[in-house]
């Protein structure tokens, strides 16, 4: 794996530079690296002004490829994404799309406000996201796209958009940084506004394509049992993890190994499964379940991906809101046995997560709410 290790180190160097430029975005940037190597799609959930497009644009500049970036609205037409019909060919009776500078020719794609997509472009986007193929009329062509990043400040409410959202295997929140990081953000942002001439790390498209092929050489046998167990646990919490998504997640696990210079997956590579949630309420649940498995990895820290060790502390307010929602759901009449079992499983994981709340008064308050809900659930 010498050539592969060299390419992986080049990509890691690019990612490290991006982390320096975008303070507080290490998690997102590492996931961009995973998605790039796995040739999967990444969804960013967050408000405007949180550097989503800037991170994608900066990564694209270091790849040296073509980028397509677009802000979708309810009125976006297919021509704005894929290009207009070629007038010269149209005169000859052929429907051929002029894709110059448009999505079908891009290596990296960023679609902002993705969930504003309308039915006119929905089917075409689904094929692009899932099969990496552009089809319009009689035209069918494979796409050179290496990664597609979508962003929105909300999750899908319309059932028609669920299929589009489902095509993004990785989901991660992208919010404003913590107040104590703001001074560093200002310094780094000013440096981006006024470049100092220092050399930027780059990596060629051919090397990225080589890494994308290398994931198929990663041995997954050692983590198969742990992976199957995690899939079952996540499904039990209500996360919609289809067989198709379960198969594709293996690409993410292998990508984590490749970026660490390994040809075999470790239990710690399962950290990528923290980001396959469907709703915001599931973020902490998925993180807790996955961390319980990842923490069992006894391999050397130097062998593990830097994101394998989860430094994020639980949000007391988020857990409290989740408990309130669960309590209301438990009170619903004629709740099925499977739904009750799911809620109890979720409460068990929230109880484990509560132990890591940093402020003791808030930790005790949340724990008291957990105890009250347990009492309600255990009543005959």
pLDDT of residue 114: 94
Confidence at residue 119, expressed as pLDDT on a 0 to 100 scale: 85
∠ CA 121-125-130, nearest 5°, is: 160
What confidence score (pLDDT) does residue 62 get? 93
Q: What is the model's pLDDT at position 89?
A: 65
pLDDT of residue 30: 95
Tens-of-pLDDT digits for all 380 residues of the chain? Answer: 556 678 998 999 999 999 988 988 999 999 999 999 999 999 999 988 888 989 999 999 899 889 999 999 999 998 999 988 776 766 666 777 888 899 999 999 999 999 998 888 888 899 999 999 988 777 888 999 999 999 999 999 888 899 999 999 999 999 887 777 778 888 888 777 766 656 688 999 999 999 999 999 999 999 999 999 999 999 998 898 999 999 999 999 999 999 999 999 999 999 999 999 999 889 988 998 999 999 999 888 778 998 998 755 567 888 888 899 999 999 998 888 888 888 887 888 688 667 667 577 888 899 999 999 999 999 87
* pLDDT of res. 201: 85
Instruction: Kindly list the distances between the CA atom of residue 259 and the CA atoms of 44, 153, 175, 199, 289, in Å, as whole numbers in the listed order.
Output: 21, 30, 26, 23, 24
Please report the pLDDT score of residue 107 as a whole number.
93
pLDDT for 174 = 92
Contact by Cβ (8 Å): 337, 380: no
**According to the model, what pLDDT value does residue 247 have?**
96
- The domain limits of the chain are 2-193, 218-303, 316-378
Q: What's the confidence (pLDDT) of residue 334?
A: 86
**What does the block give as tokens for 105?**
């020719």
What is the b/e burial string over 241-250, where b = at least 16 CB atoms within 10 angstroms of the residue's CB? beeeebebbb
Q: Can you list the positions of beta strands (E) in the chain?
A: 41-45, 67-71, 108-112, 133-136, 139-142, 147-152, 170-173
Yes or no: domain 2-193 corresponds to CATH 3.30.413.10: no
DSSP per-residue string spanning 151-169: EESS---SHHHHHHHHT--
Residue 303, Cα to own-chain centre: how many angstroms?
23
Q: What is the CA radius of gyration of the chain?
A: 22
Q: Residue 361's pLDDT is what?
A: 82
List strand residue ranges (DSSP E) for 53-123, in order. Answer: 67-71, 108-112
- pTM of this prediction? 0.80
């Amino acid at each position: 794996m010498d050539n592969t290790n060299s390419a992986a180190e080049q990509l890691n160097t690019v990612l490290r530079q991006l982390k320096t430029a975008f303070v507080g975005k290490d998690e997102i940037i590492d996931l961009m690296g995973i998605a790039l190597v796995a040739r999967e799609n990444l969804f960013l959930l967050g408000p405007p002004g949180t550097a989503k497009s800037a991170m994608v644009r900066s990564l694209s500049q270091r790849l040296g490829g073509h980028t397509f970036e677009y802000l979708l609205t309810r009125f976006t037409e297919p021509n704005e994404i894929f290009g207009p019909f070629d007038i010269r060919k149209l005169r000859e009776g052929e429907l051929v799309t002029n894709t110059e500078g448009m999505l079908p020719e891009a290596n990296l794609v960023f679609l902002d406000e993705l969930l504003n997509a309308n039915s006119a472009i929905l089917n075409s986007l689904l094929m692009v996201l899932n099969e990496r193929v552009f089809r319009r009329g009689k035209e069918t062509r494979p796409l050179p796209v290496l990664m597609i990043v979508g962003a929105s400040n909300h999750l899908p409410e319309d059932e028609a958009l669920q299929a589009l959202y489902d095509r993004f295997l990785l989901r991660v929140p992208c919010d404003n940084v913590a107040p104590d990081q703001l001074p560093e953000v200002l310094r780094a942002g000013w440096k981006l506004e006024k470049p100092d001439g220092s050399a930027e790390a780059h990596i060629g498209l051919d090397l990225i394509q080589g890494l994308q092929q290398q994931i198929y050489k990663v041995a997954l046998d050692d983590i198969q049992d742990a992976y199957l167990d995690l899939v079952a646990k996540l499904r039990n919490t209500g996360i919609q993890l289809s067989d198709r998504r379960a198969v594709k997640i293996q690409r993410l696990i292998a990508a984590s190994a490749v970026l660490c210079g390994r040809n075999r997956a470790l239990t710690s590579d399962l950290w990528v499964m923290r980001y396959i949630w469907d709703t915001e309420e599931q973020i902490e649940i998925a993180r807790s379940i996955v961390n319980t498995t990842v923490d069992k990895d006894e391999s050397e820290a130097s062998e593990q991906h830097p994101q394998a060790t989860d430094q994020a502390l639980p949000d007391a307010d988020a857990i409290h809101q989740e408990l309130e929602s669960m309590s209301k759901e438990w009170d619903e009449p004629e709740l099925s046995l499977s739904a009750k079992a799911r809620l109890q499983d979720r409460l068990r994981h929230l109880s484990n997560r509560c132990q890591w709340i940093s402020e003791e008064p808030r930790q005790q308050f949340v724990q008291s709410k957990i105890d009250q809900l347990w009492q309600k659930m255990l009543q005959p």
